[in-house]
């Protein structure tokens, strides 16, 4: 009887140990330490990648701690297992790749990485002309300056805009430009050009966009917008400002003329 009772106790202890081990495995699964609920997926941009990689170091949690990792598409993404429990992402091209991580028990988990092309969309809500030093001009002269300046703006009416595509692998701050003169997104009227956003700043600490359209460069500063033309509906916000004084036929000493493309939205 005692032998039978002892055997029963041993079986019970073995069962409890087994259950405890299973629970420990279930409570510490192999996973990534990501601030996302996107089912082990992450988006990173190319070519805008920092020297230390994109998205920082991806930390691995759980499992037995003996981790190895590899990428199934090294032409799109390279990884560096810089730490025993973390790796860094280095995008090489646009596309998708998976980083597969295994621990010492051969359990595995995959991180889906979408390497996307940076695009910025600029929609213009309003067109305006700003004239400085016009105190001695007649209204007729001001109207003439305004008319000539408006003709220099690539966007011809409210609702047009631009798409900036960072597709230059050697310089993330330049690429292709799509101009929509009348209606943003209208594929039938696209005018193709290029853009550049130099890192160097001017004496006032400003950076500017250079839009190259039909062989002409437009140097544009994004600044707060203060409306001058009282004949149009008031709009506040920011605008792409370009000085066009030397581009128009009518000029007056001490008078400077600027165009303003007031932005409806700009987002990436």
In angstroms, the Cα distances linking 157 to 211, 223, 232 are 18, 20, 13
Question: Are 143 and 239 in the same domain?
Answer: yes
Residues 188 and 248 in one domain: yes
Residues in Cβ contact with 107 at an 8 Å cutoff, skipping those fewer than 6 apart: 30, 63
| Residue 228, pLDDT score | 59
Q: What is the pTM of this model?
A: 0.73
- Asked whether residue 18 is assigned to any structural domain, the reply reads no
**Do 152 and 226 fall within a single domain?**
yes
Whether 92 and 59 share a structural domain: yes
Asked if residue 76 and residue 159 are part of one domain, the reply reads: no
Query: Which of 77, 102, 117 finishes a domain?
Result: 117
80 assigned to some structural domain? yes
Report the pLDDT value the prediction gives residue 59, as an integer from 0 to 100. 94
* Residue 213 and residue 177 in contact, taking contact as beta carbons nearer than 8 Å: yes
Residues 126, 113 within the same domain = no
Last residue of a domain, one of 117, 146, 168: 117
Confirm whether 13 is domain-assigned: no
For residue 38, tell me if it sits in a domain: yes
Domain count, the chain: 2
| Residue 165 domain flag | yes
Question: Which range marks the domain in which residue 43 is found?
Answer: 29-117
- 37, 143: one domain: no
23 found inside a domain: no
Residue pLDDT, tens place only, 7-42: 454 444 444 444 444 444 456 899 999 865 557 899
Pull the structure tokens for residue 45. 């941009």
Task: Answer whether residue 108 is part of any domain.
Answer: yes
Low-confidence ranges of the chain (pLDDT < 70): 1-27, 35-38, 49-52, 54-55, 227-236, 264-268
Per residue, what are the HEC states of 57-118?
EEEEECCCCCCEEEECCCCCEEEEEEECCEEEEEECCCEEEEEEEECCCCCEEEEEEEEEEC
Q: Do both 58 and 93 map to the same domain?
A: yes
Asked if 128 and 262 touch (Cβ cutoff 8 Å), the reply is yes
- Look up the CATH number of the domain holding residue 96: 2.60.40.10
Q: What is the DSSP string of the chain?
A: -HHHHHHHHHHHHHHHHHHHHHHHHHHS--EE--S--SSSEEEEEES---TT-EEEEEEEESTTS--EEEES-TTTEEEEEEETTEEEEEE-SSEEEEEEEE-TTS-EEEEEEEEEE-EEEEEEEEEEEEEES-TT--HHHHHHHHHHHHTT-SS-STT-EEEEE---TT-TTEEEEEEESSSTT-GGG-EEEEEE--S---TTS---EEEEETTEEEEEEEEEE----TTS----EEEEEEE-GGGSS---TT-EEEEEEEEEEEE-
Distance CA 48, CA 32 (A): 23
Token pair recorded at residue 146:
């305004």
Q: Are 194 and 168 in contact (CB under 8 A)?
A: no
Under 8 Å CB-to-CB from 62, ≥6 apart: which residues? 28, 29, 30, 31
The last residue of a domain, from among 117, 138, 165 = 117
Same domain, 155 and 247: yes
Classify residue 173: in a domain, yes or no: yes
- Same-domain check for residues 169 and 258: yes
Render pLDDT for 167-200 as a digit per residue (tens, 0 to 9): 998 888 899 999 999 999 999 999 999 999 988 8
Residues 153 and 230 in one domain: yes
- Are 211 and 241 in the same domain? yes
What the block records as the tokens of 29 is 């699964």
């Amino acid at each position: 009887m005692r032998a039978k009772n002892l055997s029963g106790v041993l079986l019970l202890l073995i069962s409890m140990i087994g259950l405890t081990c299973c629970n420990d495995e279930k409570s510490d699964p192999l996973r990534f330490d990501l601030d996302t609920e996107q089912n082990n997926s992450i988006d990173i941009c190319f070519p805008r990648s920092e020297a230390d990689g994109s998205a920082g170091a991806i930390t691995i949690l759980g499992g037995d701690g003996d981790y190895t990792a590899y990428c199934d598409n090294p032409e799109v993404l390279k990884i560096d297992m810089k730490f025993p429990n973390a790796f860094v992402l280095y995008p090489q091209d646009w596309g998708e790749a998976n980083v597969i991580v295994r621990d010492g028990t051969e359990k595995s988990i995959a991180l889906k990485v979408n390497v996307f092309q940076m695009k910025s969309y600029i929609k213009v809500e309003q067109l305006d002309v700003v004239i400085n030093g016009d105190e001695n001009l007649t209204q007729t002269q001001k109207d003439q300056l305004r008319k000539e300046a408006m003709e220099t703006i690539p966007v011809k009416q409210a609702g047009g805009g631009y798409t900036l595509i960072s597709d230059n692998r050697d310089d993330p701050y330049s690429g292709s430009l799509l101009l929509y003169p009348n209606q943003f997104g209208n594929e039938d009227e696209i005018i193709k050009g290029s853009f550049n956003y130099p890192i160097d700043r001017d004496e006032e600490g400003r950076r500017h966009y250079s839009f190259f359209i039909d062989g002409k460069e437009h140097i544009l500063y994004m600044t707060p917008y203060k409306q001058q033309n009282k004949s149009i509906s008031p709009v506040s916000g920011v605008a792409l400002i370009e000085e066009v004084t030397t581009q128009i036929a009518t000029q007056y000493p001490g008078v400077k003329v600027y165009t303003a493309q007031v932005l409806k939205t700009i987002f990436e």
